[in-house]
Structure 1
Amino acid sequence: MSRPYLNDPYVKEVLFHIGIGITLYLFEPLSKLYFMIFMIYSLWWIITCPKAEKTRAVLISCAYISGAEVLFRMTDGGIAYEASKYLVILFMLMGMFFRGLSGKGYPYFFYLIALVPSILVASMTLTFDANFRTNIAFVLSGPVCLGIAALFCYDRKVSHTLLHDLVKYLALPSIAMTTYLFLYNPSIKDTLSGTASNAATSGGFGPNQVSTALGLGMFAIVVRLFLKSPSLFLKLLNLGILGAMTFRAIVTFSRGGVVAAILVIAAFLWILFLRSNTNQKGNILGSFALFCIAIAITWTISSNQTYGLIDKRYANQDAQGREKQDLTTGRIGLFMEEVDGFLSSPFLGIGASRVKNKRVEESGHHLPSHNELGRLLSEHGFLGILIILILIIKPLSYFAANKRNLFFYAFFAFWFATINHSGMRIAAPALLYALCLLNVIYENPAVHRQLPAK
């Protein structure tokens, strides 16, 4: 019997990444080979492809490594902890070399320059036992990645088709990660430990980063569900992937990535609905009904598998059902410490990574910043205020003059939500911020005109 849907490239890519997840679980050292093959292939593609394809090669390579970053960290696949951010920076710089950049993006030159004084201040404020290079790289690799990516993407013309491809390549590594997580931790009930974030259900890695990466994947699959699922088979396939991905994100017990996903998906669906005609709105409402049913079933299963602990987690209760005093699990306290750092040194700040260094001195705990806005204020002083203004005002003003990017608010919401609960630990918020600045061009179908008779 003929099965034409198995010939769909997307279906083949999904199956391939399910296979990657299985392979990494069975033989984790292959993760390094996976990383090296990706890196070498991407570099070769960017260097050797025709000039007209350079932008596509750079952006897809960046999207894929950003989607796969947490999986590589989880399986010890990267050549360095921050390797994915460094690759995004390298790919973007190669893109600038081959394709140039827009002079209109000059505010991001200032943004990058404004990061430098914090390094000089840190050279005087970090304690002797702090590893200067490692600490600086940890807090500034994300902001530098954002600045370089923004410079490359600013006002760069890309097709609407390429934008959809970028979303797809953000999703595919999350499918591999979801597969890996099911194999790593098939029984949630056997690894419950209260209502705190659970590393055992997160592949043995940081629940915050895992839920953030899965939240990004959830958004990308929702885009596929609403815009790239013309057949019932593809709708059911994407609903199944979404349900599995959402379940694994929920049972990390880390709320940040799930809440961010909800905000991003809501932003996307709202804009999609507003921009659609009457017939399209009917289709959207039909898909939305299926989406709501799938999410309700997923939450019910999650609640059952966690003996109701996940309900208490999202109700801000402990395992005994007692109300917790701090909804943010200590993040407000960390943010106030950063505000105090700004007030103590408002001109140039206390220096890059000094916030974490001070916490080690005072409490012995290695607690990095969870809020990028607070870190910018404390470690960069008044320059941090200027940086924040650039980051918020520039993309909004650009979108006001160029409204063709259907995903603008979703990308912007992901960046803003993520930096407020997870900082810039991963490359994804930097890349999605930069994608807000693309100049999206809708492809016009070819028009065939009849030549006049002679």
Structure 2
Amino acid sequence: MIVHLLLGASATITAIPMILFFYIALGYSFINLFNIHAKERPRFIAEIIIYFASFEALGRLAGSDPYIPYELGKYILLFLCPLGIVLNRNVSGKGMIGLIILILSIPAVLFDESGQVTFNDIKFNILGLLNLGVAIWFFSSLNISLKTLINWSKLMVFPIVSVLIFTIIRTPNLDEVEFTLGANFATAGGFGSNQVSTILGLGVFVFAVAILLNYRISGVKWIDAALLGLFTIQGLLTFSRGGMIGGFFGVFVVMFYLTKLSIKERLKLRIPNFKKYILPLGVLLVIVMVAANAITGGMLLLRYMGETQGTLAGSAEKNLNKITTNRSDIFLEDVDLFLDHTLLGVGVGASTYLRNEYKGYAPHVELSRLIAEHGILGLIIFSLFILLLFINKARAPESISKGIILAMFLIGLLATFHSATRTYITPLLIGISCVTIVSNKKGNSKKKPQRPKRQTILASKNEIIAAASEESPSLY
């Protein structure tokens, strides 16, 4: 935690320490990849993807491109997921959905109805979809325990802590910040507030779930609570709503499924009575939101109510397009393109140049981009995402697994409605949600009975290491 706090702070001055750390850690990870047992390599590749892809946001904020590429997460997913597929060779039905998505995405790359699409346009719009395909294919081939899934969330959140520290340090004195009813770049570290809000919202989700399940990310409960408060207030102050709404929604999904967890399941998973954490967590979040609204002079609440300067002054009508910052009208124009080019769409990247009123605007909603640029094939692709959601839900072994998997999938999916697939968040979270969680019964059926506590304590060093590597039902 200290290392990542320092990385975020140093990146506000120079990107060099972060770049050096990134490549040293990445190189060391690949050395370890070939020193571990072959059966462990697919899981280890997944952990490399989760951790290093999460440096994308910090790299963008620190301006480290090309040393840490602007779309780092997309490149890591695109190159390492196929490697994991080759090493694992475990084919599943969900994996085939990822392969079908890859195949269906190809035709729209081959033509351009606008005549203006560049290679960068194609790369910008297609990489996210390709990432989704390979991530679904690879992660669905993995069988992991619930404990491993929890540990993955820690890997994912450490680089996000660096982003938090960067944005806090780069934020000017709040008395000097002019809060209006639009996105605020000053509180987003000087970068795109929509993307930063998505990252910070994910941090809110991970730390809130850590508190609910009573496990530690930093190692100290009050530090985790403090970081949750900082993630919440900084995310709210970006005035970009989508990412924060997604994070809060994910927390509510997990809470809903926790209420369905039986006492027997809770004891089996060694999960404490989470209900005693709901009230403190709720109070903390309410206090933070009230404080953020006070800091902004009440503008934060108006922003989340969908107000703009025009609607407050009475010069503009408050409608869906105003509330969604023009996204609904862009969506409708994309639908018109779909109706005119239903079969194969207008081609990847071409929708930007073919709209009428919003010509030149990059796609913000992945669903409308899919149908406009890929036609009926894009509609099939999105339908496969929804099918995947129900498959993941049905195959999760118990309530807590269902809650976490569904929350991750929905956070990733919701991000496509305000940021398309601009960040690594969508393919990574949807990919992770496709893993197979091995239930306790299934995971322990072939194992020898565990030693009594005294024998475990007196075990040799090698036995302790071997025991620690086994999948355990404990979340701790």
TM-score higher than 0.5 here?
A: yes
Matched, 1:74 2:61: yes
**How far apart, CA to CA, are the structure 2 residues paired with 1:168 and 1:311?**
31
2:217 & 2:329 partners in 1: Cα distance?
49
Structure 1 residues 392 and 45, CA gap change in structure 2 (3 angstroms)? farther
Corresponding position of 1:302: 292
Q: Counterparts of 1:389-404 in structure 2 under 5 Å? A: 389-404=383-398
Q: Confirm whether residue 135 of structure 1 aligns to residue 97 of structure 2.
A: no
Helix, strand or coil: the match of 1:26?
coil
Query: Who is 1:6 aligned against?
Result: none
Do the aligned partners of residues 448 and 212 (structure 1) sit closer, same or farther apart at CA in structure 2, a change above 3 Å counting?
closer
Matched, 1:371 2:359: no
* 1:259-305 C-alpha deviation (Å, 9 max, x unpaired): 11111111111112211428879831211111111111211221122
- Say yes or no: does 1:83 pair with 2:72: yes
Tell me, yes or no, if structure 1 residue 62 matches structure 2 residue 52.
no
Cα distance in 2 for residues equivalent to 1:231 and 1:149: 25
Of 329, 340, 343, the residue aligned with 1:347 is: 343
Equivalent residues of 1:65, 1:84 under 8 A apart:
yes
Per-residue CA deviations over 1:144-176 (Å, capped at 9, x if unaligned) read 011001111124211222111111112111211
Q: C-alpha distance in 2, partners of 1:236/1:334?
A: 44
1:27 maps onto 2:27 in alignment: no
Is residue 2:37 matched to residue 1:50? yes
| Deviation digits for residues 177-198 of structure 1 (CA, Å, limit 9, x no counterpart) | 1111111114233122411001
**Which residue in the other structure is 2:275 paired with?**
285
Equivalent residue letter for 1:290: P
Say which SS state the counterpart of residue 189 (structure 1) adopts.
coil
Q: What is aligned with 2:90?
A: 101
| TM-score normalised by structure 2 residue count | 0.84
The 5 Å alignment of 1:290-439 reads 290-319=280-309, 321-322=312-313, 324-325=318-319, 326-359=322-355, 366-404=360-398, 405-406=401-402, 407-439=404-436
In structure 2, what residue type is equivalent to 1:245?
F
1:229 aligns with one of 215, 220, 225: 215
Correspondence for 1:114: 104
Choose 233-242 or 107-116, whichever is displaced more. Answer: 233-242
Structure 2: state its 5+ residue gaps.
453-476
CA distance 1:184–1:380, change in 2 (3 Å): same
User: What TM-score, normalized by structure 1, do the two folds share?
Assistant: 0.88
Distance 2:114 2:421 in 1: 21
Query: 1:217-296 counterparts in 2 under 5 A?
Result: 217-229=203-215, 234-277=220-263, 283-296=273-286
- 8 Å Cα contact 1:154/1:434 also seen in 2: yes
Mapped contact 2:97–2:136 kept (Cα < 8 A): no
Q: Would you say the 8 A contact 1:153–1:434 is kept in 2? A: yes
**Distance in 1 between residues matched to 2:323 and 2:375, nearest whole Å:** 28
2 CA distance for matches of 1:252 and 1:172? 20
The separation in 1 between residues aligned to 2:280 and 2:217, in whole angstroms, is: 14
Q: Report the secondary structure of 2:76's partner residue.
A: helix
Deviation at 1:26, TM superposition (A): 2.8
Which residue of the other structure, out of 437, 449, 463, is the alignment partner of 1:447? 449
Range moving further from structure 2, 40-49 or 275-284:
275-284
* Deviation of 1:75 (Å): 0.9
Query: 2-side partners of 1:69 and 1:51: how far apart?
Result: 28
TM-aligned CA deviation for residue 363 of structure 1: 6.0
2:173 maps to 1:199: no
TM superposition shift of 1:140: 0.7
Kept after mapping to 2: 8 A contact 1:253/1:310:
yes
**Letter paired with 1:316:** G
Query: Partner of 2:152 in structure 1?
Result: 166
Amino acid at match of 1:246: T
Segment of structure 1 superposing worse, 34-43 or 250-259: 34-43
- Residue 274 of structure 2 aligns to a residue whose secondary structure is helix
Cα deviations by residue, 1:333-384 (Å, 9 ceiling, x for unpaired): 010011011001001111101111325xx56864211111111111111111
Structure 1 position 151 matched with structure 2 position 137: yes
Contact persistence 1:60–1:165 (CA under 8 A)? no
Equivalents in 2 of 1:374, 1:419: separation in Å? Answer: 10
What displacement does 1:246 show? Answer: 0.7
Q: Give, as a single letter, the amino acid of the residue that structure 1 aligns with 2:74.
A: K
- Report the equivalent of 1:178: 164
SS at match of 2:437: strand
Q: Classify 1:344/1:107 alpha carbon distance in 2 versus 1 (closer, same or farther; 3 Å).
A: same
Distance 1:109 1:233 in 2: 40
Deviation of 1:89 (Å): 1.8
